[in-house]
Amino acid sequence: MDPLVIVFGLGVGVLVGLTGIGGGSLMTPLLILFAGVPPTVAIGTDLAYGAVTKTLGGWRHLRKGTVDLGVSKWLAFGSVPGSLVGVWVLETFGDDLQDQLLGAVAGALLVVSLSILFRALFLRAAVDRERHTVELTTKVKAGAVSMGAVLGVILGVTSVGSGALIGLALILVFRLTPHRVVGTDVFHAAILLWSAGLAHWVGGNVDFGLMGTILIGSLPGVLIGTALIDKVPAQVLRPALGCVLLGSALGVLSKAGVDVPGAAIVGIPAAVGVGAWLIHRSRSPLPEAVPA
């Protein structure tokens, strides 16, 4: 039982509960870089522990009313079979395809994380178009199934996507409010990760001892994160999502073979978050002077 892995689980669990993002994008590179876990086992174990963690988080978010069940359902119709295809691709082609796909995912995460930060801080009109729920037209349903299928394949191969990429879709395509993004993301991820995690278990890629060690930290972490979400205003949660996605991009780059120091995966998003907070604080109205 590695105390460092428990600490990783706690930190990632808090992020998952609060933002819906951070499972595969952060935990897998942390296991590879710091715990010396082989990539295939890190991916399978990450998906299996994530299924348990996000089931707890999804149940908590469902009780809070922050889940769009319609969007979750239609995404799952595509993502669940897609994840099984992804696991088959990983088992068949191994590392031949993985680095290229990880590089593409990291590039997309990097561009979109910066876009979300810019949108949250400087494009107020885009924020005003956010909505609490989505009208499920035939076009929206077909788009959700197609998008879920593509992202499910990516998840099965890389363990990235259940939070980071689905979260991007909920923000940019479905334009949900930040709290609904997080709740819907976590709830859908619970469904998706069970299918991918079970497939990796059948393939022999799950280390149950390592999984149990991660859960010791991640289960309390996700309870803390979901408890905090009601206390975090939307104007704070928007840039927080962008910062976590930025950390995810750096983590995925490290998985793709780019030499990204472990401290940079946490330090750069933290520095950007401080900068975003300073910008937000500078725009806050100053309190009126009280007459003597």
Tens digits of per-residue pLDDT, 7-27?
888 888 887 777 777 666 677
Q: Compare 25 and 5 and report the one with higher pLDDT.
A: 5
- The number of CA neighbours under 13 Å toward the Cβ of 264 is 11
pLDDT at 287 exceeding the cut of 90: no
Which of the residue ranges 98-107, 188-197, 281-290 would you say has the lowest mean pLDDT? 281-290
Per the confidence metrics, is the pTM higher than 0.75? no
Which of the residue ranges 86-90, 95-99, 195-199 would you say has the lowest mean pLDDT? 95-99
Angle at 140 between CA 138 and CA 145, to 5 degrees: 95
**Residue pLDDT, tens place only, 151-189:** 888 888 777 766 667 877 887 788 888 788 888 888 988
Query: What CA–CA distance (Å, rounded) separates 264 from 30?
Result: 12
What number of other Cβ atoms are within 10 A of residue 291's Cβ? 4
Angle at 165 between CA 162 and CA 166, to 5 degrees: 65
Q: Compare 127 and 269 and report the one with higher pLDDT.
A: 269
Q: Compare 284 and 263 and report the one with higher pLDDT.
A: 263
Q: What are phi and psi of 131, to 5 degrees?
A: -135, 155
pLDDT band at 32 (very low <50, low <70, confident <90, very high): confident
Quote the pLDDT of residue 81: 93
- The number of CA neighbours under 13 Å toward the Cβ of 289 is 2
pLDDT at 286 exceeding the cut of 60: no
Q: Are 243 and 232 in contact (CB under 8 A)?
A: no
Query: What CA–CA distance (Å, rounded) separates 292 from 80?
Result: 65
pLDDT at 292 exceeding the cut of 70: no
Q: Average pLDDT of the chain?
A: 79
CB burial class (10 A; 0-12, 13-18, 19+) of residue 255? buried
Quote the pLDDT of residue 288: 46
Quote the pLDDT of residue 76: 92
Query: What CA–CA distance (Å, rounded) separates 25 from 135?
Result: 30
Mean pLDDT of 265-280: 84
Mean pLDDT of 27-41: 75
Query: What CA–CA distance (Å, rounded) separates 236 from 106?
Result: 24
Q: What are phi and psi of 46, to 5 degrees?
A: -60, -45
pLDDT band at 142 (very low <50, low <70, confident <90, very high): very high
pLDDT at 222 exceeding the cut of 60: yes
**Residue pLDDT, tens place only, 60-77:** 888 888 898 888 999 999
Quote the pLDDT of residue 171: 78
Which of the residue ranges 78-87, 130-139, 235-244 would you say has the lowest mean pLDDT? 235-244
Quote the pLDDT of residue 123: 61
Q: What is the residue-wise DSSP string for 208-226? A: HHHHHHHHHHHHHHHHHHH
pLDDT at 94 exceeding the cut of 70: no
Quote the pLDDT of residue 243: 82
Which residue is it, tokens 């408890």? 227
pLDDT band at 49 (very low <50, low <70, confident <90, very high): confident
State the sign of the Cα–Cα–Cα–Cα dihedral 110, 113, 119, 122: negative
pLDDT band at 112 (very low <50, low <70, confident <90, very high): low
First to last CA, the chain: 62
